[in-house]
């Protein structure tokens, strides 16, 4: 649940009960900081992307595009090979999606722990859940 949605629900609940100072709760929620993108988070994402690409390295190079050359001392050298950018991006997007869904799950869990019970009780007391 997004911060704005929670504020709207709490403002609606304010009309239902005078047991708790809803204005104070709304003000506290408005003061919540949005998570920042830290160096630690960037490092963690980079490490997971690297691990994912290492584990899926077989499909990241287009072996059919490889060009070889016979050089001095009859050494075979790789001249050129294409990478599958779309395949790489699929893995990167999957890792980032995992972080996004993880963050959303944490937000929902925090919401349920902190406000879900409170709002459910208000709805039950007011008869809105019927």
What is d(CA 115, CA 121) in angstroms, rounded to the nearest whole number? 10
d(CA 19, CA 25): 12
Position 67 scores a pLDDT of 93
- Both tokens of residue 118? 């409170």
Q: Residue 80's pLDDT is what?
A: 92
What pTM, to 2 d.p., does this model score? 0.51
Q: Give the SS3 label for residue 12.
A: helix
- Segment 91-119, tens digit of pLDDT: 899 888 887 777 666 666 666 666 655 55
């Amino acid at each position: 649940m997004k911060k704005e949605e929670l504020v709207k629900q709490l403002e609606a609940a304010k009309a239902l009960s005078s047991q708790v100072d809803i204005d104070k709760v709304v003000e506290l929620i408005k003061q919540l900081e949005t998570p920042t993108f830290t160096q630690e988070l960037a490092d963690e994402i980079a490490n997971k992307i690297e691990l994912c690409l290492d584990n899926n390295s077989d499909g990241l190079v287009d072996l059919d595009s490889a060009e070889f050359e016979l050089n001095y001392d009859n050494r075979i050298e790789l001249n050129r090979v294409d990478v599958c950018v779309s395949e790489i991006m699929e893995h990167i997007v999957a890792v980032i999606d995992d972080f996004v869904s993880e963050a959303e799950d944490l937000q929902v869990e925090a919401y349920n722990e902190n406000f879900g019970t409170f709002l459910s009780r208000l709805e039950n007391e007011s008869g809105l859940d019927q």
